[in-house]
């Protein structure tokens, strides 16, 4: 059984920075593609970023490109989302997700590609 446990809930001022963490247990983390998604009130869950098992390939939603960075530490079974220059529209519940297949940019923007999910972490950006 794969479990994803998130941390980093917070309230941040616009223009500030914040980091989310997601620890994976139960299976071979190093072979998993990892992703971050977010869901604002009344909206669908949307793709934020994804990273390959090695960490060498990443890709981002246009709305966060240049501001957010996804990374991973396979020795710690952890994936991170560093969020800079935050905006009020970044306010959402953020979810980490894991998929055992190789990163594929044509698929891993979709939440349906991911088998395992974290519990969600609220990030609120005040103006």
Continuous segment of H or E residues that includes residue 71: strand 68-73
- CA dist 4 and 80 (Å) reads 12
Q: Could you tell me which residues come within 8 angstroms of residue 11 by beta carbon, excluding any fewer than 6 positions away?
A: 124, 126
Phi then psi for residue 51, to 5 deg, are -140, 145
Measured in degrees and rounded to the nearest 5, phi and psi for residue 26 equal 110, -30
Predicted local confidence at residue 3, as pLDDT:
94
pLDDT in tens, 71-119: 999 999 999 999 999 999 999 999 999 999 999 999 999 999 999 999 9
Tell me, letter by letter, the H, E, C secondary structure of 81-100.
EEECCCCHHHCEEEEEEEEC
Distance (Å, whole) CA 4 – CA 118 = 5
23-43 residue pLDDT tens: 999 777 778 999 999 999 999
pLDDT digits (tens, 9 = 90+) for 59-83: 999 999 999 999 999 999 999 999 9
């Amino acid at each position: 059984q794969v479990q994803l446990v998130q941390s980093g809930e917070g309230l941040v001022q616009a223009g500030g920075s914040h980091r989310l963490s997601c620890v994976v247990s139960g299976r071979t983390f190093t072979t998993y593609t990892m992703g971050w998604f977010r869901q604002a009130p009344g909206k669908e869950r949307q793709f934020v970023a994804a990273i390959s098992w090695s960490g060498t390939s990443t890709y981002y939603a246009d709305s966060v490109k240049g501001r957010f960075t996804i990374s991973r530490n396979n020795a710690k079974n952890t994936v991170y989302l560093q969020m800079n220059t935050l905006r009020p529209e970044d306010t959402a519940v953020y979810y980490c997700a894991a998929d055992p297949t190789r990163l594929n940019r044509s698929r891993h923007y979709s939440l349906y590609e991911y088998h395992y999910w974290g519990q969600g972490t609220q990030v609120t950006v005040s103006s």
